[in-house]
Structure 1
Amino acid sequence: MEIFDRKEDVDHVAASVPYEIIVERGYNLSVSSYIEPRDTREVVNINELNEEISATVAKIDRLRADIDVIIAEIEA
């Protein structure tokens, strides 16, 4: 309420909008029409992710080979 009482502009939270702009936008009082939401998407380093995937796939391949050896020993 303090932000509202002070008519304070706060990025991604509140903005004082002149009446003329409200009229131009057809009296639309939707907050999203005047306030841009904060970008909360996670930043992903695609190169690191690809390296992790490659390492995981290699580990899975090694484990499958080990399992194949164990199964061959059991069946023999």
Structure 2
Amino acid sequence: MAANDYNLSVSSYVEAKDNREQVNITQLNAELKTTVARIEQLRAEIDAIVVEIEGYESDVEQ
């Protein structure tokens, strides 16, 4: 305690446990790539539906 200037704080003597989650970056990047591909696919499907709806509306107006 004398070496630590008589500091009674527990954190001065005990190292805190690292509770952070271990993340596999390679796996996370693979999952992200799959998710982005799925989003792009869904956007393309939505765009096709919108074009179909817009085409239908212009046919009705004529």
Unpaired segments of 5 or more residues in structure 2?
A: 56-62
Could you list the structure 1 runs, at least 4 aligned residues long, displaced by more than 4 angstroms after superposition: none
**Which residue in the other structure is 2:9 paired with?**
30
Aligned counterpart in structure 2 of residue 60 of structure 1, from 19, 32, 39: 39
- Quote the residue 1:74 is aligned against: 53
Say whether residues 1:51 and 2:49 are aligned partners. no
Count of residues in Structure 1 that have an aligned counterpart in Structure 2: 55
What RMSD in Å do the two structures reach over aligned CA positions?
Answer: 0.5
Query: TM-score, with normalisation over the residues of structure 2?
Result: 0.86
Ranked by relative contact order (alpha carbons within 8 Å, sequence separation 6 or more), the top structure is: 1
Secondary structure of 1:28's aligned partner: coil
Higher-helix-fraction structure: 2
Kindly provide the amino acid, as one letter, of the partner of residue 5 in structure 2. Answer: G
Deviation at 1:24, TM superposition (A): 1.2
CA distance in 2, matches of 1:58, 1:68: 15
